[in-house]
């Protein structure tokens, strides 16, 4: 009996001495679970945009048909988290892609065009220093070249393809939400500010405007 009591007392004292260390270890592990420092993320975003520089309205012409992204966009990005509040970002965005077909009694043509910004910049998360929360609001600023391409096919005569370049920037904000250690979803809103192309691509020469998107990312 004395031996059993001795073992019981010894185990109790050992568990009491280890409890603070175990609690601290669990707490550290929980904090590190949502840590982003020195990690990377690849993401894809889908959304809608509202351009502010329409020049012509072809939609009312019965001889013309259009197919493509319309007011939607898709973006592919990479983010590197230097610390819990700062991420350096690279994004390739298909801002516009469309085919326009025109056909009437006099003939017709096909125009295919796309607008693709490639931006670099950073995100600054608005969480408190040292806080590793699964919900992270942020502001972002990016800038870089904007590439436009156009193929113009006039039936029976010629097929011409050209590329054009503008410059642009994106500023805005959003909220990233971690769904576990390796997955992230987010929402964002912002404004794309761009210079004019030399010609009209589609029905506009400038694709500045607001956007709203939803993103899905993998963190590693």
Average pLDDT over residues 186-215: 95
Residue 154: what pLDDT? 82
Mean pLDDT taken over the chain: 84
Number of C-alpha atoms within 13 angstroms, CB side, residue 23?
6
Tell which wins on pLDDT, 9 or 129.
129
Give the span between the Cα atoms of 20 and 5, in whole angstroms. Answer: 24
Overall pTM surpassing 0.95 (yes/no): no
CA dist 78 → 62, 88, 174 (Å): 42, 8, 16
- Asked whether residue 25 carries a pLDDT value surpassing 50, the answer given is no
- With CA atoms as reference, report the closest residue to 66 among 41, 97, 35, 28: 97
Give the span between the Cα atoms of 1 and 177, in whole angstroms. Answer: 56
Residue 14: what pLDDT? 46
Give the span between the Cα atoms of 187 and 190, in whole angstroms. Answer: 11
Residue 62: what pLDDT? 63
Give the span between the Cα atoms of 142 and 118, in whole angstroms. Answer: 9
* Torsion sign (Cα): 124, 189, 169, 74: positive
Sequence-ordered list of residues with C-beta below 8 angstroms from that of 87, at least 6 positions apart, any chain: 36, 41, 79, 80, 81, 122, 123, 125, 138
Tell which wins on pLDDT, 52 or 115.
115
Tell which wins on pLDDT, 213 or 132.
213
């Amino acid at each position: 009996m004395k031996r059993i009591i001795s073992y019981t007392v010894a185990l109790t004292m050992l568990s009491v001495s280890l409890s603070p260390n175990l609690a601290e270890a669990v707490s550290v592990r929980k904090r590190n679970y949502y840590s982003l420092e020195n990690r990377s993320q690849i993401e894809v975003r889908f959304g809608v945009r509202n351009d502010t520089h329409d020049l012509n309205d072809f939609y009312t012409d019965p001889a013309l048909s259009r197919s493509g992204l319309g007011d939607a966009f898709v973006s592919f990005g990479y983010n590197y988290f230097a610390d819990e509040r700062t991420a350096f970002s690279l994004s390739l965005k298909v801002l516009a892609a469309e085919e326009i077909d025109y056909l009437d009694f006099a003939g017709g043509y096909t125009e295919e065009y796309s607008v693709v910004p490639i931006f670099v910049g950073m995100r600054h998360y608005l969480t408190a220093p040292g806080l590793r929360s699964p919900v992270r609001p942020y502001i972002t600023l990016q800038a870089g070249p904007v590439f436009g391409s156009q193929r113009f096919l006039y039936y029976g005569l010629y097929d011409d393809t050209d590329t054009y370049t503008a410059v642009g920037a994106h500023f805005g904000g959003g909220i990233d939400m971690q769904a576990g250690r390796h997955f992230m979803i987010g929402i964002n809103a912002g404004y794309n500010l761009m210079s004019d192309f030399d010609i009209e691509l589609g029905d506009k020469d400038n694709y500045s405007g607001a956007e709203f998107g939803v993103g899905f990312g993998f963190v590693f």
